[in-house]
A = this chain, B = another copy of it.
Amino acid sequence: MDQHVSRRSVLAGAAAGLAVPAAVTVGAAPLAAAPVAATMAEGVTRRITLYAEALPGGLFGYGLAPGQATIPGPILEMYEGDILEIDLVNNTDQRLSIHPHGVDYSVDSDGSPLNNSFNNPGQTRRYVWRTREMSPAIGRRYLPGSAGYWHYHDHAMGTDHGTGGVAKGLYGALIVRRRGDILPDKQFTVVFNDGTINNKVAPNTPMFEAKAGQRVEFICIGHGGLPHTFHLHAHRWVDNRTGYLESPADPSHVIDNKNLDPGSSFGFQVLAGEGVGPGAWMYHCHVQFHSDGGMVGIFLVRNPDGSMPAGAQASIDRFRGHTHPTASHNHG
């Protein structure tokens, strides 16, 4: 159920700025149906089927095929200009929906009970997400395009705001890229959801793995009812749209700790272990009683050849014995 995605080879060339159609990825390998990069100049329309299903422990997830639901759901990707049509199949016995952040949609794709936009149990419903490039406004300014590290989530289970669905795992990352954005080698979705990461607590939180030097993309999403801050050890990023300095004059903050509060999301790329070497690096909520309560995981940077760095296995073993000195966390 992890999100250890390693699919970028199928998109070779895209980093050089070629147009790439909407991509859908999940799991540890490229999705069979994922598109190979092409040199199309226009946005594309893609249709996928997403299945909402019950998972063990009272949880729920979205998946790209029956029986393949995960928490978080698959990473959905688009380029500015693309359209994504989602046929959401509700294989549960509860009302639910899918509501995206960042993209364009009509009221019937809002995913909200307010607009009567949800799936009853057993129902299939189509949601359409559209994207755009930046466009000129008056005064030499520009209306923003859709590019961003966004997310999607249920907006109908439990309450009219999907509080039940979000608490139980119905969420995932949505990336809209601008032409020319740098593509990563690996991607990790990190969801701070009440006192959990991806609805798990240490030592069962995801261990994200990369080889030293790989370009790794984190997509961080906040959910639930509590404030959080995301901290990654030994790596830092620019607090702007891409996580890179867009020029030497880019005035943005460089950070390694950022608020990750309900409904917010951000993303960035790092070269795994760059300047610090391989090792078992922590990522965690920096709210002290949240990290103590289990909101912590390991970003394992392996040696360039994929072997385990010296000392890393001992660190992992210590982590596996992680205890919770406080009981104040909240299993969402």
Residue positions of A touching B, CB distance < 8 A: 15, 17, 101-102, 104-107, 110, 112-116, 130, 132, 134, 137-148, 158-163, 166-167, 180-182, 222-225, 227, 229, 231, 233-234, 236-242, 244-259, 261-266, 271, 274-277, 279-282, 284, 286-292, 296, 298, 309, 311-312, 314-315, 318-319, 322, 325
CB distance from A224 to the nearest CB of B (A): 6
A116 to B188, CA, bound (A): 26
> How far is B274's CA from A76's CA once the two chains are assembled, in angstroms?
23
**Which 8 pairs from chain A and chain B are nearest by CB?**
A263-B286, A107-B279, A141-B244, A142-B245, A240-B251, A246-B251, A257-B263, A163-B288
Choose among A134, A141, A247, A282 the residue with the greatest number of B CB atoms under 10 Å from its CB. A141
> Which of B163, B181, B264, B288 makes the CB contact (< 8 A) with A259?
B264
Sample of 7 further A-B pairs with CB below 8 A, known A106-B276, A134-B245? A101-B231, A106-B277, A139-B180, A143-B244, A161-B284, A163-B291, A242-B251
Question: A233 is contacted by which of B112, B148, B160 (Cβ under 8 Å)?
Answer: B112
**Which B residues lie within 8 Å of A166 (CB)?**
288
**Can you list 9 contacts pairing A with B, beta carbon distance less than 8 Å?**
A102-B256, A105-B276, A110-B233, A148-B255, A159-B292, A161-B288, A225-B288, A242-B251, A250-B251
**Could you say which residues of chain B place their CB within 8 Å of the CB of A256?**
101-102
**Interchain CA distance A112-B234 in the complex, whole Å:** 12
Say yes or no: B107 contacts A311, CB within 8 Å: yes
Residues of B within 8 A of A104 (CB): 234, 275-276
Instruction: Assess A234 versus B105: contact at CB under 8 Å? Given A159-B325, A262-B286, A288-B262.
Output: yes
Smallest CB separation, A203 vs chain B (Å)? 11
Pair B227/A148 contact, Cβ less than 8 Å:
no
Which B residues are CB-close (under 8 A) to A274?
143
A116 and B241: CB pair below 8 A?
A: no
Nearest-neighbour CB distance to chain B for A6, whole angstroms, equals: 19
* Most interface-central of A114, A115, A280, A287 (chain B CB within 10 A): A114
Instruction: For the complex formed, measure the closest distance between the CB of A238 and the CB atoms of chain B, giving whole angstroms.
Output: 5
What are the residues of chain B within 8 A of A180 when measuring CB–CB?
139
Q: Which of A143, A145, A290 has the most CB of B within 10 A?
A: A143
Evaluate contact between A318 and B138: CB separation under 8 angstroms. no
Compute how far the CA of A104 lies from the CA of B141 in the bound complex, rounded to whole angstroms.
28
Given contacts A115-B280, A277-B106, contact A225 B101 (CB under 8 A): no
- Give the chain B neighbours of A286 by CB distance below 8 A: 261-264
Residue in chain B with minimal CB distance to A254: B144
A222 partner residues in chain B, CB cutoff 8 A: 229
Residues of B within 8 A of A291 (CB): 161, 163
CB-defined contacts of A280 to chain B, threshold 8 Å: 107, 114-115
Known A-B contacts A137-B244, A315-B115; A263 and B229 likewise in contact (beta carbons under 8 Å)? yes
Contact assessment for B254 and A241 in the assembled complex, using a CB-CB cutoff below 8 Å: yes
